Structure 1
Amino acid sequence: MKRQIVIDSEARKKLQEVFGVSRVTVWKALNYESENDLARKIRFAAVKEMGGVEINGPLPGFETIHNTANRITTQTFGPRVKIILYWDTNRTAVLVDGEVRRIEDGLSLSEFMSVQGEVYKLALSLNS
């Protein structure tokens, strides 16, 4: 995984409002796709004001398995947290210690990535 700052979808929307920019501009800043004063300000605010977590390189304990026979993708975030994506229904389930904590249906790619960020932060807090 490349360098990025992970925040939830509400924080992303707040950054758009505060800086008066598009969703794409915030995405590019948080994923280090842009390098200018505005991008640096967005990243600073994301970390200092929105509780963002900076990731630089592979995540320890992070693994993605695509099970084509059962048509699911499972992502693990350390030993306690995982996301299961069911291909046929586009249902996303978040599990903590084997118990379903959240279910989302019909997520777009950007919404799914936002859930991943939230789950990553949750996993960090549980392993602290």
Structure 2
Amino acid sequence: MEKYIAVTKETREYLRKLFKTTDVTVWRALYFDKRAGNTLTARKIRKAAQERGGILMAVCPMMETMHDADGYMRQYFPNGVMVECNKETGRVEIIKDGKAVEGYDKVSINQLYQIQARAERL
């Protein structure tokens, strides 16, 4: 899952001056960019950002979830895939283009997270 630390423009400028570095280096540290790595400087920038009120954010896909009167939960993903859960039986299906492409029985919450991730990748 992608993540970043949200800060104000003033905080980014403060971090640049404090660590005597460039805007790009600060940006890479705040966005956990692989090119910045997990260097000591990147960790220090992130720590200082949070100490100044920066908020760690997670980027996740938008999806619509409906709990219908027929006992189903349906999740609609941006890629056109739907996850349909029968709340009574625990049966979950991934539906693409109107056809069930995968099905699972007696799904736990932890398994549902994995199924949602799978649906997102289709």
Answer whether contact 1:72 1:84 (CA < 8 A) is retained: yes
Q: CA deviation at 1:70?
A: 0.3
The size of the alignment, in residue pairs, is 68
TM-score, normalising length: structure 1:
0.48
Tell me, which stretches of 5 or more residues in structure 2 are unaligned?
A: 3-37, 39-57
1:110 partner amino acid: N
Larger Rg: 2
User: Displacement, 1:101?
Assistant: 0.4
Summarize deviations over 1:36-68 as a string: whole Å, max 9, x none: x7xxxxxxxxxxxxxxxxx615x24x110111x
> Over the residues paired in the alignment, what is the CA RMSD in angstroms?
1.9
Misfit runs of 4+, over 6 Å: none
Query: TM-score, normalising length from structure 2?
Result: 0.50
Q: Greater relative contact order: 1 or 2 (C-alpha under 8 angstroms, separation 6 or more)?
A: 1
Aligned twin of 2:59: 56
Tell me, yes or no, if the aligned pair for 1:80 and 1:98 is still in contact at 8 Å: no
**Secondary structure at the counterpart of residue 83 of structure 1:** strand
> Which residue does the alignment assign to 1:87?
87
Equivalence for 2:112: 112
2: distance between equivalents of 1:63 and 1:119?
Answer: 13
